[in-house]
Amino acid sequence: MRRIGVLTSGGDAPGMNAAIRAVVRTALSQGAGVVGIERGFHGLIHGEFVELNSRSVADIIHRGGTILKSARSEAFKTPEGRQKAVENLKQAGISAMVVIGGDGSFRGAMALTAMGVPAVGVPATIDNDIACTDVSIGFDTAINTVIDGINKIRDTATSHERIYVVEVMGRESGFIALWAGLAGGAESILIPEIPYDLDAVYQRIVQGQQLGKNHSIIVVAEGVDGPPSGEAESVAMRVGRYIRERGGFEVRVIILGHLQRGGNPTAYDRILASRLGHKAALLALQGIGGKMVGIVHDRIEAFDLQEAIEGHKAIDEEFYTLAQTLSSL
């Protein structure tokens, strides 16, 4: 009986469970077996394997997080760690892997493929920064979570006539900030891809006031000044301080943080995860590795993993211009 393995790695993303379910049930439908590897590449090295059947993935399509858990593994970056992982896979009779995660996880999938275990990547990260796919699993849920937050903040912003600086995730890319900022009607959006000027942000607030706007929402990607170190003053704090010190406005700062990573996946994410997981399992069952499945113009396709890792996913600058136009009047 053919057996494939599945793991989740890197930051969790809503819809990972739906992808696991799709992988398991697709394999079962083809008469194959599936092994779940817990804690990502760490679990590969430590033999944390669980047999998965149809019931193992019951009642998870709607749940955020990942039933297989996720971890970062330094050991897998070493030749010894990789060797151990491959030995464990061979011993368990696992002929191919499906790796659900972001580009770090895909580097691991490339390594497995190079060592004789074909691995297929499924893009799942709320950051949506993976090339060769229009959307990654988790992004839609995350931006809806952010919009929900902005809606609530807007109530207080209008009631108290305040300026709110909302910091969202996005270590190296501004997709969450840009999409949620556009959908949430933000007055300014600061993202790593586009240089910003705090004076211009301030002036937009002043101009808004002249037009009768007594509140403003500024959405800032956490990585606007480069990947966050976790120690320095957060970028939103700095933006908020600048506006406060220029004077004339009451300013509050809110950092949405990890609540953006959890929650029930939206219908879009569940469907995307089901489609991508299904395709990935079919490839793995055929022994095809070194691929990532992606969605392009609503079609599920397979791309070279290397291309997905090395490619850069650019934001659509028209979104930025549109957001500015619509919020400046």
Cite the active site residues.
127
d(CA 137, CA 100): 9
Cβ-based nearer residue to ligand F6P, 154 or 171: 171
Show the tokens assigned to 169: 């995730």
* Residue 70 sits in the site that holds ligand F6P (CB under 6 A): no
Three-state DSSP at 66 gives coil
d(CA 119, CA 169): 28
Position with the least CB separation from ligand F6P: 169
Nearest to 255 by CA among 233, 282, 279, 280: 233
From the list 146-154, 163-171, 243-251, 294-302, the region that binds ligand F6P by CB under 6 A is: 163-171
When binding is defined by CB under 6 A, the residue of 42, 107, 204, 261 that contacts ligand F6P is 261
How many residues bind ligand F6P (CB under 6 A)? The answer is 10
CB of 260 to ligand F6P, least distance (A): 7
Question: Residue 28 contacts by C-beta under 8 Å, 6 or more apart in sequence?
Answer: 34, 53, 54
From the list 24-32, 48-56, 77-85, 166-174, the region that binds ligand F6P by CB under 6 A is: 166-174
β-pair type (163-168, 299-304) = unpaired
Nearest to 142 by CA among 184, 108, 105: 184
* Residue 283 sits in the site that holds ligand F6P (CB under 6 A): no
Chain centre distance of CA 70: 13
- Within 124-153, the residues that bind ligand F6P by CB under 6 A are 125-127
* Residue 169 sits in the site that holds ligand F6P (CB under 6 A): yes
* Residue 216 sits in the site that holds ligand F6P (CB under 6 A): no
Three-state DSSP at 209 gives helix
Binding residues (CB under 6 A) for ligand F6P: these are: 11, 102, 125-127, 169-171, 222, 261
